[in-house]
C-alpha cells in the first residue's frame, strides 16, 4: 500500500481537493510522518514481533569483520535496534552484543553496533572469524514520509488505509486550530484503531520468503 490512498481518504474526510491552499502537500506528509511514528511506538508496546524484519549481512571485505548495513545486497537504511544476530542463518550461533570499545579484545562470539539509524555498521569480535555472513533480526526506525508514492510500513496491513486517512485528517484538523474532528469520524477512528491493536496483539511471528532488495523485506505474516 502506498500513501496516495490514505491521502485521498483524508481529503474526503476534510472536504478538500488536491491543491487546496489551506492544506498544502507538505502538511499531509508531516501529518503522515507523525501518524506512522505514533503507530510504530504503539505497535512496539503491543507486540514488537509485528515490527521485526530480517536480513542476511555480508562483510564489506572478503576477509573482514565489518558489515555496513546500508551497502548490503538488501540495503538496511533504517535500523533502530538489533534484536538478534547469528552466524550465517537463523539457526546459527547467536552473538552477544558488546560495546564497540570492547569488541576487539572480547574473547567470545560477539558484535558491536555503531552509527546512526540510517547508516548502521556492525563489527564482530575476532572469535567470529572473517568473511562470515550474519543473520540479523531487527526493528526498523520510523521513516519520514516524503511523498504520496512512499510505501506504508508493513506493520500497518493493507486493509487499514481508512484508518490512516482518519488519523492524517485528525492531525490536520488539530494543526488547523480545530479542537477535535467530527464525532462520527472520531468514533470510527477509535473503533478501527482498536481493531488494529487487537490484530497486532494476536500476531505470531511466522517466517516468510524474503525479498531480495530494499528495506521492504517482510519476514513475518499477519
Tell me the per-residue pLDDT of 109-158, one tens digit each, with 9 for 90 and over.
999 999 999 999 999 999 999 999 999 999 998 889 999 999 999 899 99
Looking at residue 59, its pLDDT comes to 97
**Measured between alpha carbons, how far is 27 from 19 in angstroms, rounded to an integer?**
12
Contact partners, residue 46, CB within 8 Å, separation at least 6: 197, 200, 201
Query: Phi and psi for 106 in degrees, rounded to 5?
Result: -75, 135
pLDDT at 218 over 50: no
**Measured between alpha carbons, how far is 16 from 14 in angstroms, rounded to an integer?**
6
Domain range annotation of the chain: 4-49+143-202, 52-139
Q: Identify whether the C-beta of residue 138 lies closer than 8 Å to the C-beta of residue 82.
A: yes
pLDDT at 76 over 90: yes
pLDDT in tens, 88-122: 999 999 999 999 999 999 999 999 999 999 999 99
> At 170, which helix (H) or strand (E)?
helix 161-175
> At 183, which helix (H) or strand (E)?
helix 183-202
Amino acid at each position: 500500500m502506498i500513501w496516495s490512498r490514505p491521502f485521498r481518504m483524508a481529503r474526503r474526510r476534510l472536504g478538500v481537493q488536491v491543491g487546496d491552499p489551506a492544506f498544502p502537500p507538505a502538511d499531509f506528509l508531516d501529518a503522515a510522518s507523525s501518524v506512522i511514528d505514533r503507530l510504530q511506538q504503539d505497535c512496539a508496546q503491543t507486540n514488537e514481533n509485528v515490527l521485526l524484519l530480517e536480513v542476511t549481512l555480508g562483510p564489506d571485505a572478503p576477509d573482514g569483520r565489518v558489515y555496513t548495513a546500508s551497502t548490503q545486497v538488501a540495503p538496511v537504511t533504517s535500523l533502530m535496534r538489533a534484536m538478534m544476530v547469528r552466524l550465517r542463518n537463523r539457526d546459527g550461533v547467536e552473538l552477544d552484543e558488546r560495546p564497540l570499545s570492547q569488541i576487539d579484545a572480547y574473547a567470545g562470539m560477539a558484535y558491536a553496533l555503531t552509527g546512526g539509524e540510517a547508516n548502521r555498521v556492525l563489527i564482530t569480535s575476532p572469535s567470529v572469524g572473517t568473511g562470515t555472513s550474519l543473520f540479523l533480526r531487527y526493528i526498523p526506525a520510523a521513516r519520514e514520509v516524503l511523498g504520496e508514492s512512499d510505501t506504508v510500513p508493513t506493520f500497518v496491513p493493507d486493509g487499514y488505509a481508512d484508518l490512516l486517512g482518519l488519523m492524517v485528517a485528525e492531525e490536520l484538523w488539530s494543526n488547523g486550530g480545530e479542537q477535535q474532528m467530527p464525532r462520527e469520524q472520531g468514533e470510527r477512528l477509535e473503533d478501527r484503531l482498536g481493531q488494529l491493536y487487537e490484530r497486532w496483539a494476536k500476531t505470531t511471528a511466522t517466517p516468510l520468503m524474503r525479498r531480495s532488495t530494499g528495506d521492504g523485506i517482510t519476514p513475518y505474516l499477519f
